[in-house]
Structure 1
Amino acid sequence: MCKWEVTKGASAWSHVSCLSVLLLLLLCSALPVACHDGHGTLRSPRGASSSSSVVVGRHVRSYSHLTGDVRKRKLFSYQKFFLRIDQNGTVNGTKSKDDPFSILEIKSVDVGIVAIKGLDSNYYLAINKKGVVYGAKEFGTDCKLIERIEENRYNTYASAEWRNKKKPMFVGLNNSGKTVRAKKTRRKNTTTHFLPIPIP
């Protein structure tokens, strides 16, 4: 704490020194020395950052850049079928590499959630409440799918809305290329595993 002393020939110097100390304290108190982790505790920043944004609260990241991301892919199943959605909205698998109904558009609609549409058929890949995998003409709740990369590098696609006894329901093709009732699927079951293949 500054001690204000007025002595002969030194009053001006003491006044300037105390002002400098006060300004320094004010500047230090304005710096972000800790951030809240959203669970009632404070933690120090991990490192210096040149970002002009201030980290506040629990939701600190913006993923808005992911929304609208569009990829053209073929989904090649673990059972060696290309997933297709035909002109009638029927979902099944094909061995043909040239089947136009197997060309799909995968679009991010939220963080980790995608919409998959057949480019030739204009039907969306969907799972309803009963676990039926089908093609929907209009985008709706059934068409929101959680995309996840599994340990074997294949992707799974589960309904973002519906669950069966609190368990996820997945898009799947059996060894005959037919869709599997989503209520019977499990994440570790390879019938639900697909490899996204980029299309030039």
Structure 2
Amino acid sequence: MWKWILTHGAPGLCHLPRSLLLLFLVHSLSVTCDEVWGRGSVRPPEISSNYSSGRHVRSYNYLQGDIRFRKLFSFHKYFLKIDDTGRVSGTKKNDCPYSILEITSVDVGGIVAIKAINSNYYLAMSKKGKVYGAKEFNIDCKLKERIEENGYNTYASLTWKNNERQMFVALNGKGTPKRGPKTRRKNMNAHFLPMPL
């Protein structure tokens, strides 16, 4: 464990802004979680900084294991639903029980699983880009969640791509899922607002 002693006139540190100095000290101290929280105690989730040069990479690294209950409201004003047969579609009904979704972080980097809690089907995308409901969690169910610049979220298949292009969950103007190869990140069909219940 490092031990730091700062004197009043420590060269090089006294001229740093207060926030930068604090950040430097936090990253410099190697105190283990067991020393701070005690063995076997519940600890707060680690927050990982995920910055790239220029544009900030928006992801949900700190939400691994987090569970959220939401409705996904599409740009075309449909709630995404998965009915008790596993069929994925959109509904205009605000009180549709099949549109209540459980969004669970399953891996770092914004990887989530989305399940309709009343039908117990997972939102999935096949290798050919077909959106469907899967009764059991599998590799088709891993989706990359990303906040777009307009505030909407997109959900792309983590596993499958079409000609090196990501394939997105999308609902057209009639509330019907689009096939992955016909979707693009910038297309508003693929944009959803996660609405808290």
Q: Please confirm whether the aligned pair reaches a TM-score higher than 0.5, indicating the same fold.
A: yes
Q: Which runs of 5+ in 1 are unaligned?
A: 1-26, 29-45, 55-59
Q: Percent identity?
A: 61
1:83 aligns with 2:61: no
Residue from 142, 151, 154 that aligns with 1:156:
154
Tell me the SS of whatever aligns to 1:47: helix
1:120 aligns with 2:118: yes
1:1-200 equivalences in 2 (<5 Å) = 47-49=24-26, 51-53=29-31, 61=48, 66-111=63-108, 112-199=110-197
Shift of 1:64: 7.8
Q: Which runs of 5+ in 2 are unaligned?
A: 5-22, 33-46, 50-59
Paired residue for 1:3? none
Tell me the SS of whatever aligns to 2:72: strand
1:64 & 1:169 partners in 2: Cα distance? 21
Tell me the SS of whatever aligns to 1:160: strand
Shift of 1:67: 2.0
Query: Residue by residue, what CA displacement relative to the aligned partner does 1:153-196 show, whole Å, maximum 9, x if unpaired?
Result: 00000000100000000000000000000111000000000000
1:82 & 1:197 partners in 2: Cα distance? 10
Structure 2 length normalisation: TM-score? 0.72
2:93 & 2:61 partners in 1: Cα distance? 37
Query: Residue by residue, what CA displacement relative to the aligned partner does 1:32-63 show, whole Å, maximum 9, x if unpaired?
Result: xxxxxxxxxxxxxx722363259xxxxx9599
Q: Is the radius of gyration larger for structure 1 or structure 2?
A: 1
Shift of 1:68: 1.4
What is the root-mean-square deviation in Å for CA atoms of aligned residues? 2.4
Structure 1 pair 99–61 and aligned structure 2 pair: CA distance change class (3 A)? closer
